[in-house]
Chain A
Amino acid sequence: DADVTQTPRNRITKTGKRIMLECSQTKGHDRMYWYRQDPGLGLRLIYYSFDVKDINKGEISDGYSVSRQAQAKFSLSLESAIPNQTALYFCATSLGFGGEAFFGQGTRLTVV
């Protein structure tokens, strides 16, 4: 079983719809992240959380919200999806300050 699991893996949704991407981890890590990947732009940080009570905006948080329901769960919501949110989304976890990040398999989201 994967240590970092993202659901769904693929999703097509219509403009204006609300959508939630979910991430769960079995690694026991305290830190969790949401990134989006676009060709030529690398990975850009949307939100990150260092523990259950800590939520921080990343560089591109507009149009997104997150919830850290438990140490193991971190969900990303698009309140009203728009086409330029079409991208590959990754959840990641890490332990403490120096730990490397472990990534989920990604969610490919298409907004039409």
Chain B
Amino acid sequence: AQSVAQPEDQVKVAEGNPLTVKCTYSVSGNPYLFWYVQYPNRGLQFLLKYITGDNLVKGSYGFEAEFNKSQTSFHLKKPSALVSDSALYFCAVRPQGGKLIFGQGTELSVKP
């Protein structure tokens, strides 16, 4: 079955420290990969996507993600976390065939 896993329900980091939010996937072929962020009482906002090319993808708000085909992972990273980055983060994959599948989400908490 096609699936996306975010192994951590919650990630806590101190402001200024680097952050990583993990994502692994299980789909056939060469999927498209996405990260979204959800702030309280809001819809999801697109952060970045990987389609092809360079394994390191840069996105909005200083976030980046590293695609690793052998490990089927697409981890979200940021060199220096801000308190305002605190939110719910979703990884998503679109396998060949088209429907967008989401992980269960990771709550990021950045403390001052």
Where the two chains meet, the residues of A that have a C-beta atom closer than 8 Å to any C-beta of B are 4, 31, 33, 35, 40-45, 48, 50, 56, 58, 90, 92, 94, 97-98, 100-106
> Does A41 lie within 8 Å of B104, measured CB to CB?
yes
Show 10 A/B contacts (Cβ-Cβ < 8 Å), sorted by A. Answer: A31-B98, A43-B90, A48-B100, A50-B98, A58-B99, A90-B44, A98-B32, A98-B49, A98-B51, A102-B46
Residues of B within 8 A of A (CB): 6, 9, 32, 34, 36, 42-46, 49, 51, 90, 92, 94, 98-105
Which residues of A sit under 8 angstroms from B46, Cβ to Cβ?
100-102
Q: Knowing that A35-B102, A101-B36, A101-B92 are A-B contacts, what are 11 other residue pairs whose CB atoms are under 8 Å apart, sorted by A's residue number?
A: A31-B98, A42-B6, A43-B44, A56-B99, A90-B44, A97-B32, A98-B32, A98-B49, A98-B51, A101-B34, A106-B43
Bound Cα distance A101, B36 (Å): 9
Q: Which residues of B contact A101 (CB under 8 A)?
A: 34, 36, 44, 46, 92, 100
Give Cα distance in the complex from A103 to B42, angstroms: 9
Q: By DSSP majority rule, is chain A's interface helix, strand, loop, or mixed? A: strand
A100 contact set on B, CB distance < 8 A: 34, 46, 49
Kindly count the residue-residue contacts between A and B in the assembled complex, taking CB atoms under 8 Å apart: 60
Contact B100 A40 (CB under 8 A): no
> What residue in chain A is nearest B35 (Cβ atoms)?
A100
Complex Cα gap A42–B36 (Å): 12
For the complex formed, measure the closest distance between the CB of A17 and the CB atoms of chain B, giving whole angstroms: 25
Determine how close the nearest CB of chain A comes to the CB of B40; give it in whole angstroms.
11
Alpha-carbon separation in the docked complex, A45 to B90 (Å): 14
